Amino acid sequence: MKAHRRLDSGIEQYIFSLEEHGLSFDINITTLIDGGEALLIDAGYPEHGSVVKKMLDERGIQVKRLVLSHYHPDHAAGMVAFPDANIYCSEDYEINFKNCSELWDAETAYRKADYLLHTGDQMTFGAFELTFHKTPGHSVCSLSVIINGAYVHPGDLIMNDQHDQPALPLICKDGDIGEHLKSLEWLLSQSDKIFLLPHGNTLVSQEAIVHAITIRALYLKSLIEAYELWHDKNYEALKLEAWSCPQWHKANMKMAQVRVL
């Protein structure tokens, strides 16, 4: 484990490097603790989930609920460490359950959801009130979680690398540029809250949050509005130099091509 953050009463994050999985950023497992029970938002890979379970066990805390911001391996595979926890996912998670189970990571025993979540659904967990909002774009099954009206977990709509450099937005094959932009617009309406990123440090100031959302929206809009310009290598190099994970641009351009042509 790389770090353990205590953000507020009962709100903690366990941070792990993803370098061994070929990624230049960390995964943050957000943990809500109420007495001897915990709710996790995401679970990392199996080795990460196992460490979190061990550390919570040592404190006499059992994980009862696991909310997935989306069903991708770096967020969902760690569920194997919590066989007794109820799994909560977006109602649209099944395409990626199939992808995880059959294509991406067939060796991990992924579970189907125990409960499906929709926009506007609410959950009480001890002193915590959670509200869910479907925010597709990165993935078809992406969810954002509002905690006590003060915190937002935006899933992978906003990612920063291990040096806190903004990671290029990634439109996965099950995602959509237009939906991503709509989701960012919704996140902008929540910019008065603290953002608990799954990858990167917590965003506290509204100025930083608005900036993080705006630069991603401008990039995504440019994929369609300046589609031809992006084929110029000099233009591409200039526009990507401030971003981490520029290799994702190629996949994003394939998604843009569907909209432009």
Determine the residue type at 193: K
Residue 91 reports pLDDT greater than 80? yes
pLDDT for 11: 98
How many structural domains are present in the chain? Answer: 1
- 124-169 pLDDT per residue, tens: 999 999 999 999 999 999 999 999 999 999 999 999 999 999 999 9
DSSP strand pairing (3-8 vs 37-41): unpaired
- Rounded to whole angstroms, the Cα distance separating 71 from 42 reads 9
Q: What is the CATH number of the domain that holds 101?
A: 3.60.15.10
pLDDT for 22: 87
Q: pTM of the entire structure?
A: 0.96
Q: How far is CA 122 from the centre of its chain?
A: 19
Residue 54 reports pLDDT greater than 90? yes
pLDDT for 261: 67
pLDDT for 46: 98
pLDDT for 154: 98
Domain containing 222 equals 3-260
Residue 259 reports pLDDT greater than 90? no
pLDDT for 258: 87
**Average pLDDT of the chain to the nearest whole number:** 97
| Strand stretches in the chain, DSSP E | 3-8, 11-17, 26-34, 37-41, 62-67, 86-90, 115-117, 122-125, 128-134, 143-147, 151-153, 194-195
Cβ count within 10 A of residue 225: 12
DSSP strand pairing (194-195 vs 151-153): parallel
Residue 219 reports pLDDT greater than 70? yes
